[in-house]
Every structure is written in C-alpha cells, then in structure tokens.
Chains A and B, each alone.
Chain A
Amino acid sequence: MTSNLWFLKGIKKGVITEKFPAEPPLEPPIRPSVMQGNEHVECPVDAITPEGKWEAGKCIFCRRCEPKFRPTGNQDLSHVIGELPGAIRRSFYIYPLDSGSCGACNMEFLSIFNPQYDANRLKIFMTNSPRHADALLVMGVKTDGMEQVLREALEAMPGPKVVIAMGACAISGGIIGSAPISKENVTVEVAGCPPSPYSIISAIMKMRGD
C-alpha cells in the first residue's frame, strides 16, 4: 500500500466536516448542555442556588436535578470572564495542560480536530510548547504534582496570556477537588463535564470575537 492509495482512500470518503459554527450543530449531545429550570433542588456540587438559579461552571450534569431542571441541548456553555486581548483574530495556537483530569476533557479537546469538527479550518491549532501558545487550556483539578508545572507553563507563555478553564474541575473543582487556577488568571470558562467539542469550539470563537 503506498501513500498515493491512502490519499485516494481519503478522497473517496468525501467531506464529512460539519458547517458548525456557521450552522447549528448537527448532533449536539443532550448532556452537557444549558439546563433550564428555576426551583431549588439538592445538588451534590451546589450548582443550583437556594433561589433556584443554575450555575453552569459548577454543574457535573449528574441528572439528579432532572426533571425539575431539563437539559436543552444548547451547547453555548462558555463565558468570557477576563480581559480579551485585541490581536487574537488570526491563527490561534492552544497549549493544553492536564492538571488532574479524569481523561474525558482531554479526549473532548482532542476531538475538536476530528474530521467532523476540523478545528484547523477555523484557524485553531494545537502547539507542543507553551512558548508558542496564544492560549493555555487548563483541564482537571488542582494537584500537588502539577501545581508548579502549571505555574511554569503560565510563566513561559508570551503575553497577552489568555487562559481557558475547560470543564467543571478546572472552573470550580467539580465533584473531585478544587480549581487549579484562580479566577483572576482565567479569560474564558467552558462549562461541562466534559464540555463537548461544539462547546469548546464555540468558546474559542466567542473569545476571538467571531
């Protein structure tokens, strides 16, 4: 088998990349997605306030609040909490850092480069060094062993230092522990346990002002 034949095999499959985000997601997962409801329910991670308000960043989508709260399928689970630098509209290089994850966030992040999503077409790339990174994407809870590694990666990054906190663990500690990075250092939060590739892409697009 030569590489030419692999090329033909690739062509034969046709284009399977979705039009997202220009068009709505083709197959959005029901969980995680924006939850709808407005009454107080006991929540193992206190993602529902006594007033019945749902806090996306804490939610692990364990279904215990259902059916009083219902998943809507809406994948827009991110919000900008820090200052956005102006010059990030071109190719965008991300350095992922696993502080202490279960592995699900790692796989969902890698999935944005799957043919169905093909984040490269949206000028989103992964880099192997924090020195070349436009953004640091942090996954997982705070752990003793990774604390210094995270600090060094942040120091090694060129400015402006954009930080994406991905998933309940990185935002609030989820049900596992505490967040690995303080909110003042975070630019964008993407909620979910783990956030879907749609949510991750939409967070990056939002951050770039697309």
Chain B
Amino acid sequence: MRWYRTGNGEGRLIGRTSSYRVYPSVIAPLSSETSETDRKLGPSEMRLNYGPSTGGLVESVNFSIDSPGELITGIKVNYGFKSRKLKLTGKRSDDALLIVERINGFHSASNSIAYILAVEDALGIDVPEPVLMRRIIQIEIERIRSNLTVMERLCSAAGFGVPHNQLAALREKVSRIIGKTTGHRYMFGTGMIGGIEAQFSGVAEELEPLISEFRDINESLLQSKIFINRLQGNGKVSGMNLVGPAARASGLMHDARYDSKSLPYSRLNFQPIVRHEGDAFGRFMIRAEEIFSSVGLIERAEELSGGNDGIGPVSPEIRDGTGAARVESPQGDLFVFVEIENYLLRRVEIMSPGESNIEAFRRSSVGTIFTDFPFNWESFGIWISEVGVELE
C-alpha cells in the first residue's frame, strides 16, 4: 500500500469498513462493533413508519419516526430493505469492476475509480498523469450532476416548480455531456485497471453555458426568503466524524481531495470550501459553491489530460498485493481496500460515505418537525444503494 499503512489511528476518524477503522493515511484493525439499540418511546409518543416503498422517495428505505405529534424525538433509518449481496471475492479484478460500477449507479465514477486505484496500488501499476486527470474530470462532473440533483430535490420539496424543472433540465444536459464524452450516461464501462476510455477535450467549454444558467437559478433561489427559511436552522449537525458536504457545512475541512493522495488534486491547487452554518442551508450552499469549484477543477485537469490517446488496460506483472485508495465522492470520503492473490480478489472492503451521513441525518433530525423532514433528508444527498449492500 503506497498511501496507507496499518497501525494505530492518527488524525480524523473517517469511517469503518468491516475490518478496519479508516484514518487519512492509516487503517487500524477494528476491535469490537457496537450495535444500535432501539429507542424506547416516551410518554404520549407514537412511532410512525414511512417507506420503504412510497412516493417522495427515490430509493427504497424505511424511516421509523418517534413523535408526540409535530416534533421528531427520535428517528431510525432502516436501509436494509433493498440490501443486495454482491459477490466480488474469487473474481478477477476487471470482472469485479462491472459489479463495483453498480454499487451506486449515480456515483458510479467515484466508486469505480476508488476501486481501480486500490487495485492499481495492490498490483503496483503506475498510470500516467493524463489518465489520473481524466479520472478527476469524471469525478468532478459526477459531483456537478449530483449536486444539481440535491438542489433539484430541495426545490421539489419546497414546491418550487420552476427552479425544480430548470435544475432537472440542467441535470439532463450534464447527463448528455457525460454520455457523449464517456460513452455512457452513468459512466459504466468507462474505467479500467490501468486506463480509461473517455475523451474530455472541450468538456469545460461545454459546461460553461450550463454553469451560467445555474448561476442565475442559484442567485434567484438565494433571494427567496420562503425557500431559505425552509433550510435555515433545519437539521443542524456538528461533531468531528462528519464527511463530505455535511462536514464542510459544519466548519470542518474534511475532503479526500485535500487529504488523500490517491488522486493528484494538489496539482490543481484544490482548496476545500468550508462554511459554518451546519444546517440544511449550509449543505445547500456547499453544494452550490462546489459546482463552480468543480468546473474550475475540470478546466485545469483538462489542460493536463491531453495526449496518451487510447490508453487501454495493462497486464500487471505483479500477481499479489494489498492496496487502498480514498476519493471524495459527492457524498464524502469513499475508501476501498483490496487484497489480491494470483490476480484474483481475496478480500474487498468498501467504506461508503452514506453510513456516516445517515448517522449525521439521524442526529440532526431530533428536535426538527415533520415539515422539516424532506428538506433535511434531501440536503444530505444520501444514496441507499451504496449503504444497503453486502460484499461477499
């Protein structure tokens, strides 16, 4: 492992895989797991169920909400309903990639790139800088689409039809650009061990008019007191163990683009955007500001991504090894650990940012009221597909 070593934890605790606690450059063996106990209902409280399959939710998930009437006093997110069992061990690393891409289809680039980087680390494969830059472009364009979607869903929750549809139209335009440059609207089949099958020349220029449209929508939303009131003070959360936009909206500089060496963001002079509200409004603002910052990163990465056309897969000379990588997905830190024996995967462990965000959502919901719920939930941008997954 080039960027990670096993040992005692140092720095911020980012999250857990099934065997390790993950820190910025250390993985520490996990000793014991604490299991969540069910909260007991207080006097005059009732427990309500929302989901797993109902309108208003993009994926299947169930919320068990405790309340005496209007106030949410406790909430449990049951994300196991759609839990898929994915068999990765015993497969060749490139065959397993087809499954990893589908752990979270909407954040497929982040998941597959973290996995590819871990495999390349294990097999000692060095890829040229233009490939790494193209991978950064993939992740950043995925972030733009994901952030647009979170904002679109927030507008939908507020019943703001015009900006909701305008943001949906922008999301579609970004999907089409992704489809044109990578050959697939969700980037399936684009990544490969040692290479990439995507050409991004001119992509920053294509994004420019979209970003200018987005700037108008965002400025109008920020002038809307009705909209902002739904977000401000809603779902306030703090604490050191936050990841992604939730952390950066709470004053924490937690960003794998800043403290992980798996991808060369330092070559692009990346600086995380940090705000201090800690609530749904802060998360909304981080999402909006990071759309502009991602376009800047794409522009700079595009300049360094030229040449080496037709970079294809490589045949590794090393057959065994362990590797780890961490990237910043639109939801936050995403860590992958692999152990390879004779070209076959012996162990794969993934730490998805969804789990940390679900815990943050749960904590932030206590003390809010029912009408706050959709805004708070959508502001975290959580994808259940990557949380409710069992790797075998």
Contacts and interface: CB of A to CB of B under 8 A. Distances in A.
A68 B86 CA distance: 29
A145 B105 contact: no
A185 interface: no
A74 interface: no
Interface string B103-123: 111111000000000000000
Contacts of A6: 160-163, 220
Contact of A98 (B60, B168, B185): B60
Contacts of A54: none
B223 interface: yes
Interface string B54-85: 11101110000000000000000000111111
B179 A29 contact: yes
Interface centre among A7, A30, A101 (most CB of B within 10 A): A101
Contacts of B84: 100, 140-141, 143, 176-177
Contacts of B162: 6-7, 9-10
Main secondary structure of the interface of A (DSSP, over half): loop
B82 A29 contact: no
A193 B296 CA distance: 31
B223 A1 contact: yes
B188 A62 contact: yes
Given A101-B105, A176-B84, A177-B85, A62 B98 contact: yes
B81 A146 contact: yes
A31 B183 contact: yes
A175 B185 CA distance: 18
Contacts of B188: 31, 60-62, 104, 193
Contacts of B81: 143, 145-146, 149
B175 interface: yes
Contacts, number: 160
Interface residues of A, number: 55
A18 to B, nearest CB: 10
A29 B383 CA distance: 24
Interface residues of B, number: 54
Interface centre among A27, A61, A196 (most CB of B within 10 A): A27
A126 B385 contact: no
B52 interface: yes
A135 B64 CA distance: 28
A61 B105 contact: no
A63 B385 contact: no
Interface string A156-194: 000000000000000000111100000000000000011
List 6 tightest A-B contacts by C-beta distance, closest first.
Answer: A128-B55, A104-B105, A102-B105, A145-B81, A10-B162, A102-B102
30 contacts: A6-B162, A7-B162, A13-B169, A30-B179, A31-B188, A31-B189, A60-B188, A100-B60, A100-B82, A100-B84, A101-B105, A103-B383, A104-B106, A107-B105, A107-B106, A114-B165, A115-B172, A116-B169, A117-B172, A126-B55, A128-B54, A129-B55, A143-B81, A146-B60, A146-B81, A146-B82, A149-B52, A174-B102, A175-B98, A177-B85
Interface of A: 1, 5-7, 9-10, 13, 16, 27, 29-31, 44, 60-63, 97-108, 110-111, 113-117, 126-129, 140-141, 143-146, 149, 153, 174-177, 193-194, 196
